[in-house]
Amino acid sequence: MLGKMTRRKSRSRRALSALVAAFAAISIVCAADQAVAEYPDKPVRLVIPYPPGGGASLHAGVIATVAEPYLGQPLIMTIRVGGGGIKAAEYVSKQKADGYIVLMGDITINSLRPLVEKVPFKISDFTPIGRITLDPLVFVGAKNAPFNNAKEMVAYAKSNPGKLVYSSDNVNGWTYVAFKALMKMTGTKMRGIEFGGGGPAVANVLGGHTMAYAGAPAVVGPHIKSGALKPLCTGSTKRAPTLPKVPTCKEEGFDVQWEVWLGLFVHKDTPAPIVAHLRKAFTGILQDKGMKRLIKKINSQINHVEGGAWVKVLEEERKRLKKIYE
C-alpha cells in the first residue's frame, strides 16, 4: 500500500513539476513579448556624432520634431562629439541593446573608417534602420584659383605636383575621401590642409587661402550662385538637382563617385521586433508631410532606403570604398 501511495505521490509530483515548468516557460515568453510589446515605454535617444549646427544635428532636429506620433515616445537628441564621429558610434555600440538608443551615423563612421582605420567598433556592431539622405559632393575652386574648370584643375595639378592646396575636413572625412578618390582617378598629387570641419574649410577657400574644396550642394551652392566660388564638377552619376549647370566629374573625364549619406543604426543585438518597429516608424517619419516641408527648408532631400534593403546597398558600397584605398 505504501508503494502505491509513493507511486501516486511521485506521479502527482511529476505532474506538478511539469505544470510549473510549463507555467514558467509561458511566463518567460510572455515577459519577453511584453517587453517588446511595451516598447517604447520611455523616450528614445538619438545620438549625434558631430557638433551642433552641422548637417547631422540639423537633420536630427527635424526628425526629432516629427517623430513622436510615429515612434510612440518622444525622440531626444544627445550630442556626443569626438574623434570625427567615432566616439558616438563607440558609445552606442557599448550600450544595452534595448532599442532606446539610436545612432545617427554616416558613410565615414559606419562604412569607411572601420574598413581603413583602427576604430573601437566593427561595422557589424550595428543594425541599419534606414538611410535618410544621399548627397554627392561638389568640387569647387577658389575665386583666385589658377584654374576655371575641372579639366584645368587636373591639368594644373599634373604640371604642379604637390602645389594645389585644398581645404580638407578630417582625415578620412567627407572632403578628404573626395579628393583621395579624385587624386587616384587622375593620378595627381594635391596637398590638403585638415581644418576639422566644413565651416573653417569653406572659410579658407572663400578667402583664397586654399585653392579648392568639395562640399554638399546645400553648402557650396549659394557661393557658386554668388560667384564667390568656381564650380568644378559633381562627384556622382547625374548632375545635382539644385546645381544643374555643374557637370559631373564623369563628364569631365574622371569617374569620381562619392556620395555621402546620413542614416540611423541601432546596436546589433537589438531584438528583431524592436528593429522592425523602428524601421516602420522611421519610414513613416521620413514620409511625413511636415518632415518634407522642413527638409526642403534646410535645402536637403530625403533619399530613404529602408533597413532591410539598405543592408545590401551598404555591402556594395563598402566594396567600392575599399577600391579607393587600394
Partner 1 sequence: MVDNFLQGVAAMANFWSISAALLGLVSGIVIGALPGLTATMTVAVLTPFTFFMAPLIGLPFLLGVYKGAIYAGSIPAILINTPGTAAAAATTLDGHVLAREGQARKALLVSLYSSVIGDMLATIVLIAVTAPLAAIAIMFTSPEFTILFLFALTMIAGVSGNSLTKGLIAAALGAWFGSIGLDPMSGMQRLTFGYAELTGGIALVPVLIGMFALSEILIQSEKSVVRSIAAAGVDDASGVSKKEMKSLMPTILRSTGLGIILGALPGLGAEIACWLSYAAARRHSKNPEKFGKGSLEGVAAAESGNNATVPATLIPMLVFGIPGDTVTAVLLGAFMAQGLLAGPLLFQQHGDTIYGLFCVLLLTNVMLLVFGYWAIQYLRRIVFIPRSILLPCVTVFCFAGSYAVSSDFFDVFVMVGGGAAGYLMRKADMPIPPFVIGLLLAPRLENAMRQSLLFGDGSLSIFVTRPISAGLLAIFVASLGFLVWRSFRARQIKDATVTEQPHDAAR
Which range touches partner 1 (CB under 8 A), out of 14-22, 149-157, 164-172, 255-263? 164-172
Q: Quote the distance between the C-alpha of residue 110 and its chain's center.
A: 7
Residue 58 found at the interface with partner 1 (CB under 8 A):
yes
Residue 16 found at the interface with partner 1 (CB under 8 A):
no
Q: Which residues contact 53 (CB under 8 A, 6 or more apart)?
A: none
Spatial separation of the C-alpha atoms in residues 142 and 229, rounded to whole Å = 5
Residue 143 found at the interface with partner 1 (CB under 8 A):
no
Residues 194-223 that bind partner 1 (CB under 8 A): 194-196, 199-200, 202-204, 206-207, 209, 218-219, 222-223
Residue 267 found at the interface with partner 1 (CB under 8 A):
no
Radius of gyration of the chain (CA): 26
Alpha-helical runs (H) found in the chain: 2-37, 55-71, 86-93, 107, 113-116, 150-159, 174-186, 198-206, 217-226, 249-252, 272-287, 289-297, 307-324
Q: Peptide bond preceding 40: is omega within 30 degrees of 0, i.e. cis?
A: yes
Which range touches partner 1 (CB under 8 A), out of 99-107, 137-145, 152-160, 193-201? 193-201
Looking at the Cβ atoms of 198 and 263, the one nearer to partner 1 is 198
- Burial class of 53 by CB neighbour count within 10 A (0 to 12, 13 to 18, 19+): exposed
Cell numbers standing for residue 9 = 505521490
Which range touches partner 1 (CB under 8 A), out of 27-35, 78-86, 262-270, 304-312? 78-86
- Which helix (H) or strand (E) segment holds residue 229: the answer is strand 229-234
Residue 230 found at the interface with partner 1 (CB under 8 A):
no
Residue 43 found at the interface with partner 1 (CB under 8 A):
no
What minimum distance in Å lies between the beta carbon of 306 and partner 1? 24
What minimum distance in Å lies between the beta carbon of 65 and partner 1? 5
From edge to edge, which strands make up the β-sheet containing 259-267? 75-79, 44-48, 101-106, 259-267, 126-136, 305-306
Residue of 36, 81, 116, 243 that binds partner 1 (CB under 8 A)? 81
Where do contacts with partner 1 occur on this chain (CB under 8 A)? 51-54, 57-58, 61-62, 64-65, 77-84, 86-87, 90, 117, 165, 170-171, 191, 193-196, 199-200, 202-204, 206-207, 209, 218-219, 222-223, 225-226, 228, 290, 294, 297-299
